[in-house]
Amino acid sequence: MSQLICRDLCLGYDGREIVHGLNFEIDAGDYLCIVGENGSGKSTLMRTLLGLQPPMSGKVLTGEGLLQKEIGYLPQQTAVQKDFPATVREIVISGFQGRCGLRPFYTKEEKRIAEENIERMGISHLAKRCYRELSGGQQQRVLLARALCATGKMLLLDEPVSGLDPKATAEMYRLIEKLNSDGITVIMISHDMEAALSYADRILHIGNTVFFGTKQEYLNSELYKGFCAGGGKA
């Protein structure tokens, strides 16, 4: 069974349909990029996969032992989030909150894993620093370490390099690629078509027309050719 299955999804909000007839399956270890025009429903799909918003119709199913609460999420940052007054270590370990239930403390194992993820992201030297004092690239590493505390299986990333300079962007893409090579499934919304086609092995294009397939199938499709001819702004 696939790790994530979407069947006949209809997405929207306030009674307004954005996209319908969405069908795709993701296997463990896949790297999927979601592209499409602005307003096509990419972020709405993310929220639906996380269980934060119900579909108007259709189903989201998980398999391969994946639970919905085990999906790590890196959202787009807001100005409020960038100014959050907490240490790096406090933010990273908060990724376990979804598993704590009524337990008002973190276990030794959770603290150990948090430290491992801090080291994994190359931010051990920042662990005691206040999050809001960090650069944009450093903040994204912190949030990625936090997302890893929620999962060892699947990451959902909503434009993870938005607002980053070219050096930080390249570093973030390398980190994500390494996580994928380590066996973590990656589902990423990206407006960067070049990056999507460089790193992903599956493409989901949503909009007036829906496409799901391999990167090569997408490159050969009329949808891709028309999208790029129109400017390719996802």
pLDDT confidence band for 99 (50 / 70 / 90): low
pLDDT confidence band for 179 (50 / 70 / 90): very high
Mean pLDDT of the chain: 88
Check residue 196 and give its pLDDT: 85
Check residue 81 and give its pLDDT: 63
- Which pLDDT tens digit goes with each residue over 144-161? 999 999 888 999 999 999
pLDDT confidence band for 85 (50 / 70 / 90): confident
Which residue(s) pair with 31 in the sheet? 186
Q: Is the pLDDT confidence value at 230 over 70?
A: no
Q: Provide, rounded to the nearest whole percent, the portion of the chain with pLDDT above 90.
A: 57
Q: Is the pLDDT confidence value at 225 over 70?
A: yes
- 70-84, 120-134, 187-201: least confident range: 70-84
In Å, how far are 62, 130, 143 from 172, measured between CA atoms? Answer: 27, 20, 11
The domain ranges of the chain are 78-152
- Which pLDDT tens digit goes with each residue over 19-71? 888 999 999 999 999 998 887 889 899 999 988 889 999 999 998 888 777 78
Q: Is the pLDDT confidence value at 214 over 90?
A: yes
154-158 and 16-26 beta bridge pairing: unpaired
Q: Is the pLDDT confidence value at 232 over 90?
A: no
Contact 20, 175 (CB under 8 A): no
Contact 161, 168 (CB under 8 A): yes
What pTM value is reported for the model? Answer: 0.88
Q: Cα-Cα-Cα-Cα dihedral of 5, 7, 13, 17, to 10°?
A: 140
C-alpha–C-alpha distance, residues 19 and 38, integer Å: 13
Amino acid identity of residue 176, one-letter, is: I
pLDDT confidence band for 222 (50 / 70 / 90): confident
Q: Is the pLDDT confidence value at 210 over 60?
A: yes
Q: Is the pLDDT confidence value at 1 over 80?
A: no
